[in-house]
């Protein structure tokens, strides 16, 4: 088994083709990690969401971490970690960015479904508050695991 570091270009290529990720945020020394759908473009990771714990926490502490991986087997995988800052995209001032987020996210079929379906367990549709946010990526690191030759 061999593990190599990925350079920044390789990390960003992997981010570009990712459609889901683990998003980590924290508040008062308590980490919180959740799966989300993502789309990455030019230093930003875009996410469609609804109001809840992660949004409240990221509003209080915008420093976040995103992890993605492509695991084919125990000895054939890549993992990328991006650190960055939460930025909400409210209307009307972020109209252009919201449209871009929607365009990028909708390349994935039913991109809105997981965010909405989870919320529908507890709320009626008219009570759900959808929103877009993005993460400005400040640093990336990556590792690739391969079978040793
Ligand atoms: C494959 C996949 C893709 C998803 N994509 C998106 C997406 O693009 N956008 C989006 O907003 N959400 C997505 N979700 C749902 C997401 O993981 C959260 O469940 C949801 O966003 C609610 O988060 P919250 O912090 O607002 O939870 P809240 O409803 O405020 O959480 C209350 C409590 O519920 C528990 N909880 C919440 N979510 C989870 C969870 N996923 N697993 C276990 N316990 C949980 C936690 O203990 C939390 O403290 C996705 C889930 C999966 C599995």
Q: The domain containing residue 8 runs over which residues?
A: 2-146
- What pLDDT was estimated at residue 148? 80
Number of domains the chain is built from = 1
Query: Full-prediction pTM beyond 0.75?
Result: yes
Token pair recorded at residue 7: 């350079």
- What pLDDT was estimated at residue 130? 82
Any ligand 1 atom below 6 A from CB of 116: no
Q: What CATH number does the domain containing 95 carry?
A: 2.30.110.10
Any ligand 1 atom below 6 A from CB of 130: no
Tell whether omega for the bond before 37 is within 30 degrees of 0, i.e. cis.
Answer: no
Q: Quickly list DSSP for 43-94.
A: TEEEEEEESSHHHHHHHH--EEEEEEEEEEETTEEEEEEEEEEEEE--TTTT
* Closest residue to atom 10 of ligand 1, CA basis: 115
- What pLDDT was estimated at residue 129? 72
* Closest residue to atom 40 of ligand 1, CA basis: 34
User: Please, what are the averages of pLDDT over each run of 10 residues along the chain (149 residues)?
Assistant: 96 96 98 96 95 96 98 96 98 94 85 68 69 97 92
Q: What are phi and psi of 118, to 5 degrees?
A: -60, -40
Distances (CA, A) of 4 to 9, 61, 69, 87, 122: 14, 32, 14, 32, 44
Tell how far the Cα of 33 is from the centroid of ligand 1, in angstroms. Answer: 9
User: Ligand 1 atom closest to Cα of 32?
Assistant: 49
Any ligand 1 atom below 6 A from CB of 115: yes
């Amino acid at each position: 088994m061999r593990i190599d570091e990925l350079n920044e270009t390789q990390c960003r290529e992997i981010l570009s083709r990712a459609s889901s990720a683990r998003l980590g945020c924290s508040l008062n020394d308590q980490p919180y990690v959740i799966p989300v759908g993502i789309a990455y473009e030019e230093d930003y990771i875009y996410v469609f969401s609804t109001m809840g714990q992660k949004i409240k926490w990221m509003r209080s502490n915008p420093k976040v971490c995103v992890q993605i991986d492509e695991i084919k087997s125990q000895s054939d995988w890549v993992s990328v970690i991006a650190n960055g800052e939460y930025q909400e995209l409210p209307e009307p001032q972020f109209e252009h960015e919201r449209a871009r987020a929607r365009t990028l996210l909708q390349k994935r079929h039913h991109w809105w479904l997981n965010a909405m379906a989870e919320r529908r367990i507890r709320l009626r549709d008219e009570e759900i508050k959808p929103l877009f946010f993005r993460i400005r990526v400040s640093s990336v690191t990556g590792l690739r695991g391969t079978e040793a030759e």
